Structure 1
Amino acid sequence: MILLPHFPWLIVLLAVVLLGDAILSLRPPAFIRDCLTGVGFPRQWWWTLIVVKVLAAVGLFIGLRVPGVALAASTGVICYFLCAVVAHVRAGFMGRELWINCLGMLALALTTASVSFTG
């Protein structure tokens, strides 16, 4: 098993995108608000998503030097966005927020993990 990424730039890209998403979520624009309210996520818990994204990004950056950490962090990001897809489907909120934001991030996380950690 490969524990350090083949393509560190992909790991950095995913981490930067997650940090950007977390920063946007501090004062969420309409598309983020629509997404969270559309799936019925309670507003008083929105801050937890920011923490999760920042911690994932930190894990990805640490994983550039510490074997296995970026793999674990990218797996966590995949699980996070899989849960988001399930939340969208369960809520019947299948608009562009699902297709662009949620599935786009899931695709980026899956691509990053599969390309970076497969032989």
Structure 2
Amino acid sequence: MSGLTARRTYALLAAMQAGDAVACIGPIPPIKAALDAVGLPEDLRPVLPVVKAASAVGLLSVYRFPKLARLTTFMLTVYFVLAVGSHLRARDYSPGLVAASSFLTVFGVMTVKGPDTE
């Protein structure tokens, strides 16, 4: 068992995704600034809280449906590939790029390893 395969890690990341979903509802000013910086159209922004809330549920499924949790980490990897690409396309070399790159790495590794099943 490693830290990234532990069920507790999935639960922690689910809590983070849920908090991020709530923060995106408004969105709060720092998130609005980040979305403006990468040029995300206003009409796509309402989708973000839904996607993030769904990912939180998917990550929490690790306790009962580990394969669904693994699919969720794969989909989050795709999400963060798109996020990193958006930052690079916009030439936005802010801390948001570092965060998106870090989450891309974390969810990519989690997808490859899969969750602990015990």
1:104 corresponds to: 102
Counterpart amino acid of 2:97?
L
Q: Distance in 2 between matches of 1:114 and 1:34?
A: 33
1:73 corresponds to: 72
Q: What does 1:1-119 correspond to in 2, within 5 Å? A: 6-99=5-98, 101-114=99-112, 116-117=114-115
Q: Distance in 1 between matches of 2:87 and 2:5?
A: 33
| CA deviation after TM superposition for structure 1 residue 67, in Å | 3.5
Backbone CA RMSD of aligned residues: 2.1
Q: How many residues align?
A: 113
Q: Tell me if structure 1 keeps the 8 A contact 2:7–2:62.
A: no
Q: Distance in 1 between matches of 2:86 and 2:50?
A: 19
Q: Equivalent pairs: percent with the same residue?
A: 28
SS of the residue aligned with 1:63?
helix
Q: After TM superposition, which residue ranges in structure 1, 4 or more long, deviate above 6 angstroms?
A: none
Deviation string for 1:63-90 (max 9, x for gaps)? 3211311100011111101110011111
Q: Distance in 2 between matches of 1:107 and 1:30?
A: 26
Deviation string for 1:32-62 (max 9, x for gaps)? 1121111111112111111111111111112
Unaligned runs of 5+ in 2: none
Q: Distance in 1 between matches of 2:79 and 2:51?
A: 9
| CA deviation after TM superposition for structure 1 residue 116, in Å | 4.6
Larger displacement relative to structure 2 (105-114 or 41-50): 105-114
Q: Tell me if structure 2 keeps the 8 A contact 1:74–1:109.
A: yes
So what's the TM-score if we normalise by structure 1? 0.81
